[in-house]
Amino acid sequence: MVRPSVEDERRAQIMAATRRVMVQRGVAMLRVADVAREAGVSPGIVHYYFESKDELIRETFEDNFSSSFERRSALLAEELPADKKLRRLLESYVPVDEATRESWHVWLELWVGALQDEQLRRLNETAYGEWRRLIRDVIDEGVDQGVFVAEGLTSKVNQLIAMIDGLAVQALLGSTVITAEAMRELCAEFVGNHLTLD
């Protein structure tokens, strides 16, 4: 197995620290000095790997998306019926563990930043295209297996993704109505009512 280079490890260390600082302070208040302190390196080291704060933020968002996508792709590689795969995929978005909560925090910061940054808007568009494809692939598999309906899937995938976003934000904010358990139940209800064959 090829071992990652020291440079790759250091970049990953800095981006992990950037994610933590985003969660603590938000992207608008993020300073390179805070990232350096969190990573246990000097600000000069951060600037050695990332030319600017904007580059650091964009690459951290890209890394967050790639990591999230890889985790979900591994779930889908398992030999399971499509309805169980979809259930596991949806469960992976419920913000109950630290990694998932952090990832959602970073997504929230991406959305805020994308309001002012065209490159972040493009990254968001790319990420959502991949997310739609990921969910659609599982549903198409279920259609082939005779467990999911075949009609109107593009609309249903978009509805499901929009619902996941909204529910996750509410659960992340500690809503007393939309809890993590409520998110699970509502996603299951959507799948049962709109995707699953009678």
Domains of the chain: which residue ranges? Answer: 1-50, 62-195
Q: Which two tokens stand for residue 65?
A: 């998306």
Mind spelling out the 3-state secondary structure of 97-158? CHHHHHHHHHHHHHHHHHCCCHHHHHHHHHHHHHHHHHHHHHHHHHHHHCCECCCCHHHHHH
CATH number of the domain at 1-50, please?
A: 1.10.10.60
Residue with more model confidence, 97 or 72? 97
Mean pLDDT along residues 6-25: 92
Query: What is the 8-class DSSP label of residue 94?
Result: S
Count the neighbouring beta carbons within 10 Å of the beta carbon of residue 162: 10
Count the neighbouring beta carbons within 10 Å of the beta carbon of residue 73: 12
Distance from C-alpha of 188 to C-alpha of 87, rounded to nearest angstrom: 8
Q: Which fold has domain 62-195?
A: Tetracycline Repressor; domain 2 (1.10.357)
> What integer pLDDT is reported at residue 117 of this predicted model?
87
Q: Which residues pair with 148 in a beta bridge?
A: 196
Instruction: Give the three-class secondary structure for 196.
Output: strand
Reply yes or no on whether the pLDDT at 3 is more than 70: no
Mean pLDDT along residues 147-168: 96
pTM of the model: 0.85
